Amino acid sequence: MPGNTQKPNGNMVTFLLNGAEVQADPNWSLLEAIQFYGIDIPTLCHNEGLTPYGVCRLCVVEIENGTRAKLVISCMHPVTGGLKVRTHSNRVIKTRKMIMELLIARCPGSKKLQDMASRLELKEVRFEPLNDDCILCGLCVRMCDEQMAARAIGFAGRGADRYITTPFDINSEECRKCGACMYICPVCELRCQGPQAETTLCSGCINTEPVCAQNFDDAMCFMVPCLSCVKGPDDVK
Amino acid sequence: MTIDESKLDSIINEYKAELGSLIPILQDIQAEYNYLPQEAMEYVAKKLVIPEVQVFGVATFFKSFSLKPRGKQQIHVCMGTACHVRGSKNVLGELERKLGIKAGDTTPDGEYTLETVNCVGACAIGPVVVENEEYHGQMTPIKVEGLLNNR
Ligand code: SF4
Ligand code: SF4
Ligand code: FES
Ligand code: FES
């Protein structure tokens, strides 16, 4: 799990994290504070080396400031004193699963998304799979701009037609072919090609001895728990 | 297409070459050329010192910008709710048939560009067709003839 390793400095604020009174640096985002205290919440478009972007919505948490509780994305929400934060309330878990379901329906071929869905114990996908190759997380765009200083790719179009591209949709001379965009893309890595590879949701592997290891030299995924390659209860050793 | 850089310079300089002026600059370029030539966008990116992909992103975001050359005559057919229920679909169909192009395209001779819009704020006189900023109300497939001077 990527943790927050920054040293707190300056004046600390006190807030309530899952019922426990904790302190955090007011310059941190809520996500950084949550990670600092070792709580694991899923994130997708967030990366420590890049500016927060707030598009995947997976890092959603419930906050209470006064009487009303509301859902916010933690990666772009500031930490303020007196805030009450719940990272695993029923409402949060339900919302997270819904977001995950939509993401999986868009890109069922992504290993990273399948692994995350499995962790969130997503059991079904009720949407028609799109088999797209991009979830528009913008990681590649920020990587190219902020770390590679090439600024060779970006978003074009809008709404449902938004997509990632090079200037004028042609081969860009700005691109150095460094591959950083592919390295960081959560959709580029293909999912496990095990027995149920054609279903929208691979649903995790239940075996401690992965079935895929019978067909391939190495286990193909590292899901907890390992479930995906099981066809019926008899297959479980 | 060759781009007259001094013309672009005078447009860009009018806005002091600031990042916030990207949209008005593109608008002025489009007014000049009727569309946004790629060379012009590359030049703007260079002058404003911003990535080309950012100019491209803005140009593709707004529907009012066109990346393809457009015809001398612009025909916009309103497809808004009010015009739709009064049969703008038939008007569009007739225009497409007469011009031999689909909405969004330009005739091969570069004369007409046909586009759809969603409400031009004149619902009371719908279906509306806007030809070169001139509004024509109560349009019917038959009246289309008169718009296109014998095509
Ligand atoms: S490969 Fe090209 S587009 Fe990708 S990060 Fe590197 S420079 Fe940017
Ligand atoms: S190409 Fe990959 S990294 Fe880039 S926006 Fe799409 S999913 Fe994200
Ligand atoms: S990690 Fe916060 S919105 Fe994506
Ligand atoms: S719907 Fe056509 S002008 Fe309003």
10-residue stretch averages of pLDDT, chain B, 151 residues long: 82 81 93 91 92 95 88 91 94 93 90 91 92 91 82 62
pLDDT value of position A208: 47
- H or E segment and range at residue B78: strand B73-78
Which comes out higher in pLDDT, residue A2 or A86? Answer: A86
- Which residues of B fall within a CB distance of 8 Å from A152? 51, 53
pLDDT value of position A225: 58
The domain containing residue A148 runs over which residues?
A: 139-184
Whichever domain contains A162, its CATH number is: 3.30.70.20
Q: pLDDT-derived band of residue A1, with 50, 70 and 90 as boundaries?
A: very low
Domain-embedded: residue A159? yes
Amino acid at B84: H
Domain-embedded: residue A179? yes
Domains of chain B, earliest start first:
5-61 (1.10.10), 73-149 (3.40.30.10)
A50-105 pLDDT, tens digit per residue, is 999 999 999 999 999 778 899 999 999 999 999 999 999 999 999 999 999 999 99
CB of B146 within 8 Å of a chain A CB? The answer is no
Q: Dig out the tokens for B124 from the structure.
A: 């009371």
pLDDT value of position A118: 82
Predicted complex ipTM: 0.73
Q: Which of A153, A156, A166 sits opposite B60 (nearest CB)?
A: A156
Query: Could you tell me if B127 and B87 are in contact, meaning their C-beta atoms sit under 8 angstroms apart?
Result: yes
C-beta atoms of A155 and B57 within 8 A: yes
Query: Could you tell me if A199 and A109 are in contact, meaning their C-beta atoms sit under 8 angstroms apart?
Result: no
pLDDT value of position B86: 94
Q: Dig out the tokens for A168 from the structure.
A: 């004028």
Mean pLDDT along residues A27-52: 94
Strands (E), chain A: 13-17, 20-24, 60-64, 69-73, 84-86, 154-156, 163-165
Domain-embedded: residue A30? no
d(CA A189, CA A211): 20
Q: pLDDT-derived band of residue A207, with 50, 70 and 90 as boundaries?
A: very low
**Atom of ligand 4 lying closest to residue B80 CA:** 1
Q: In chain A, pLDDT over 70 holds for what percent of residues?
A: 80
- H or E segment and range at residue B27: helix B22-33
pLDDT value of position A42: 95
Domain-embedded: residue A100? no
C-beta atoms of A166 and B41 within 8 A: no
pLDDT value of position A87: 93
**Atom of ligand 4 lying closest to residue B82 CA:** 1
pLDDT value of position A9: 66
Q: Dig out the tokens for B143 from the structure.
A: 């009246």
Q: How many domains does chain A have?
A: 1
Mean pLDDT along residues A17-28: 93
**Atom of ligand 4 lying closest to residue B122 CA:** 3
A112-132 pLDDT, tens digit per residue, is 998 898 888 888 899 999 989
Alpha helices in A110-176 (DSSP H): 111-119, 139-142
Mean pLDDT along residues A154-161: 93
- Which residues of A fall within a CB distance of 8 Å from B52? 167-168, 172, 174
pLDDT value of position A206: 47
